[in-house]
């Protein structure tokens, strides 16, 4: 899975557009980073920037943003409504995909150390990156704000984790930064069939982690209850890692429960939705839908879609697009306005359409277009891409039989059994479809090497080395196709033996397509391996390919024997 990190720095400038543009420009100057949102606030004199990318790219962009903020913002002149301690006030790294919180914490600490070493900015590490338990709380790190820095830096217990030994002119200008790693925060509003803010607030108190103040007799107006130390007693809500309030929205003419889910691992979006529905119903209200504010990782919607599919005892082995559609409809995310995943899901926003079109040129064609392109005088797509496509069709057919079996009348108790097969099949379909274009790209790479200059001995040597490397890669790609297509055969056998008997012929065609794809890819392994000068690299590839063909032939025969029994019964 591609690693994606989100960064949401807060800069202590929300009024001067030239300063804000300068900081955002520094962030955007890093290749591979995409700025998703810039949100300046005049009253707070603070700007929140949201950008995403690969971990190293995001850290570089965060560093450049901090350097530019240090250059353009003088904290001695700063005033605003929001608590702050530096020009770059907070700098959280947030895992989105393919990376853990622990890895983000390590990155945050390295970033803080670099900012201190190269820029002279004192840095406190907070939340998951904290070195001290009490500093997990941002408020502790920022206590006293910018004005308290001279005193804090002189106190061994309160000095920053990284930075200069004492307060100096650089610190006076830049202030201190709070660098951390935290969970992704989802902002979501739950729409209610009421105009009552009070009732919406009651539901919010029921579910938010903080809960509500305890009162005598459990009433809303009774005397507040305190413990023996005089501290207010609180009745906790039902959802961990959630903050919520109730409000009325003039634009929509309804009340909402407005929630921040600060820990999506403890409380996924769909669990929050279900609990708000329960709490609302207990008070005679109904949740009519939900509104996601800002962006979400794709996994949030995929997890929700699978949750509702499982509740329906439906197969989870369907396309990503269909799973997300189930999530949107199940939580009525389109209740107030259309919900377009391409505009709300971080991974989709990161996709470069032009780059994706080149990368997936073949699999984005129609079936007719692919066939016509194959038949043209162009050498690609060739046998390798066609073999990968046959493998994809094999996995797709086995998945289809699993999905049909999962939904077969009278087989409801077996839905999970078939759903597991379908999920495995969908993953194979994705892998083999990617190999369709990867095989053609490998061929193009060889052709590009043949076009390299060869006027001098050095150029000839470089050209020969490049051709050898590209040829080895071109031999390994169809071997990957063989390995992936082989995995479709056990699925076809399972479906032939246990799946819907009415679809037995489909399982048989899946086996035939898998073996055809495997045999075709094996020819491509051999022809590319034959072009290698280093025979010690070629021989293991050829041997592995022959072994796969031998094992696949046995499995295909077993599938067809089973299928024929079903047909002849």
Write out the two tokens for 531: 């072009």
Among 209-223, 405-419, 542-556, the least confident range: 209-223
Integer Cα distance of 426 and 392 in angstroms: 9
From CA 477, how far away is CA 36, in angstroms rounded?
35
Backbone angles phi, psi at 382, to 5 degrees: -120, -155
Domains and CATH numbers, the chain: 4-181 (3.30.990.10), 186-349 (3.30.70.670), 352-568 (1.20.120.680)
Supply the pLDDT for residue 269.
Answer: 97
Question: Is it the case that residue 361 has pLDDT exceeding 90?
Answer: no
Confidence check: pLDDT of 426 > 90 = yes
Does residue 220 surpass a pLDDT of 70? no
Average pLDDT over residues 539-552: 96
pLDDT digits (tens, 9 = 90+) for 373-414: 999 988 878 999 999 999 999 999 999 999 999 999 999 999
Burial 476-505 (b: 16+ CB within 10 A, else e): bbbbbbbbbbbbbbebbbbbbebbbbebbb
What pLDDT shows up at residue 356? 63
pLDDT score of 41:
82
Per-residue pLDDT, 66: 97
pLDDT in tens, 480-491: 999 999 999 999
* Closest residue by Cα to residue 142 from 46, 41, 40: 46
Of 43-47, 73-77, 451-455, which gets the smallest average pLDDT?
Answer: 43-47
Residue 329: DSSP 8-state: H
| pLDDT at 359 > cutoff 80 | no
pLDDT given at position 299: 93
Q: What is the pLDDT of residue 1?
A: 64
Residue 281: both structure tokens together: 């119903």
Q: What is the pLDDT of residue 298?
A: 92
Q: Which of 103-112, 350-359, 432-441 has the lowest mean pLDDT?
A: 350-359
- Is the preceding omega at residue 381 within 30 degrees of 0, hence cis? yes
Please state the rounded mean pLDDT for residues 419-432.
96
| Per-residue model confidence (pLDDT) at position 358 | 60
Residue 384 CA: distances (Å) to CA of 19, 360, 367, 374: 53, 15, 17, 11
**Chain-wide mean pLDDT for the chain?**
93
- Give me the pLDDT at residue 357, please: 62
> What pLDDT shows up at residue 37?
84
Q: What is the mean pLDDT of residues 228-239?
A: 90
Degrees, nearest 5: CA angle 446-449-452: 160
- At residue 249, the pLDDT reads 87
**pLDDT (tens digit, 9 = 90+) per residue, 12-31?**
999 999 999 999 999 999 99
pLDDT confidence of residue 202: 94
What pLDDT sits at residue 494?
96
Please provide residue 345's backbone torsions phi and psi, each rounded to the nearest 5 degrees: -100, 125
Least confident residue range of 227-241, 296-310, 345-359, 495-509: 345-359
DSSP H helix total and E strand total for the chain: 19, 13
Report the alpha-carbon distance of residue 495 to residue 506 in Å, rounded: 9
Is 328 a residue whose pLDDT tops 80? Answer: yes
CA distance 98 to 54: 10
CB-based contact 257:200 (threshold 8 Å): yes
Alpha-helix residue ranges (DSSP H) falling in 294-382: 298-311, 320-330, 341-344, 346-350, 353-359, 367-375
Q: Which residue would you say has higher pLDDT here, 280 or 97? A: 280
Q: Are 494 and 561 in contact (CB under 8 A)?
A: no
Q: Give the rounded percent of residues in the chain with a pLDDT score beyond 70.
A: 98
Give per-residue pLDDT as tens, 161-199: 999 989 999 999 999 999 999 988 888 999 999 999 999
Residue 292 has pLDDT above 70, yes or no: yes
Catalytic residue annotation: 82, 439
- Residue that is written with structure tokens 């109730």 in the block: 246
> Do residues 181 and 131 make contact, with C-beta atoms less than 8 angstroms apart?
no
């Amino acid at each position: 899975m591609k690693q994606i990190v989100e960064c949401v720095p807060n800069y202590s400038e929300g009024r001067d557009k030239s300063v804000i543009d300068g900081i955002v420009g520094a962030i955007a100057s890093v290749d591979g980073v995409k700025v998703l949102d810039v949100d300046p606030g005049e009253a707070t004199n603070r700007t929140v920037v949201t950008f995403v990318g690969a971990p190293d790219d995001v850290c570089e962009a965060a560093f450049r943003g901090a350097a530019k903020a240090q250059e353009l913002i003088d904290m001695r002149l700063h005033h605003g409504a929001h608590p702050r301690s530096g020009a770059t006030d907070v700098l959280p790294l947030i895992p989105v995909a393919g990376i853990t919180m622990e890895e983000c914490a390590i990155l945050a600490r390295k970033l803080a150390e670099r900012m201190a070493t190269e820029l002279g900015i004192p840095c406190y590490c907070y939340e998951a990156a904290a070195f001290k338990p009490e500093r997990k709380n941002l408020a502790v790190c920022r206590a006293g704000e910018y004005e308290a820095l001279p005193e804090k830096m002189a106190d061994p217990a309160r000095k920053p984790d990284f930075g200069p030994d004492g307060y100096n002119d650089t610190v006076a200008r830049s202030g201190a930064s709070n660098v951390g790693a935290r969970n992704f925060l989802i902002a979501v509003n739950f729409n209610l069939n009421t105009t009552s803010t009070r009732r919406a607030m009651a539901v919010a108190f029921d579910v938010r982690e903080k809960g509500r103040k305890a009162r005598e007799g459990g009433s809303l107006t009774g005397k507040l209850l305190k413990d023996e130390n005089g501290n207010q007693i609180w009745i906790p809500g039902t959802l961990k890692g959630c903050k919520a309030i109730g409000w009325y929205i003039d634009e929509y003419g309804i009340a909402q429960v407005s929630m921040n889910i600060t820990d999506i691992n403890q409380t996924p979006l769909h669990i929050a939705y279900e609990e708000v529905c329960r709490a609302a119903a207990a008070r005679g209200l109904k949740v009519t839908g939900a509104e996601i504010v800002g962006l979400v990782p794709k996994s949030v919607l995929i997890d929700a879609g699978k949750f509702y599919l499982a509740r329906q005892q439906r197969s989870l082995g369907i396309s990503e697009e269909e799973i997300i559609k189930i999530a949107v409809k199940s939580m009525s995310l389109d209740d107030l306005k259309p919900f377009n995943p391409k505009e709300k899901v971080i991974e989709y926003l990161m996709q470069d359409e032009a780059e994706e079109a080149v990368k997936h040129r073949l699999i984005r064609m129609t079936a007719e277009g692919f066939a016509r392109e194959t038949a043209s005088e162009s050498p690609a797509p060739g046998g390798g891409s066609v073999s990968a496509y046959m493998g994809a069709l094999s996995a797709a057919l086995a998945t289809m039989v699993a999905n049909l079996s999962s939904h077969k009348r009278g087989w409801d108790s077996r839905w999970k059994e078939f759903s597991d097969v379908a999920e495995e099949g969908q993953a194979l379909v994705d892998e083999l479809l990617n190999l369709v274009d990867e095989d053609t790209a490998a061929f193009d790479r060889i052709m590009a090497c043949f076009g390299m200059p060869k006027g001098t001995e050095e150029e000839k040597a470089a050209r020969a080395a490049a051709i050898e490397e590209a040829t080895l890669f071109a031999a390994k790609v169809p071997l990957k196709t063989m390995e992936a297509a082989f995995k479709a055969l056990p699925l076809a056998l399972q479906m032939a033996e246990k799946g819907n008997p009415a679809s037995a012929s489909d399982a048989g065609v899946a086996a035939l397509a898998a073996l055809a794809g495997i045999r075709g890819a094996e020819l491509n392994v051999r022809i590319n391996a034959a072009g290698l000068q280093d025979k010690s690299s070629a021989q293991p590839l050829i041997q592995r390919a022959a072994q796969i063909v031998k094992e696949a032939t046995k499995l295909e025969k077993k599938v067809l024997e089973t299928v024929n029994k079903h047909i002849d019964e």
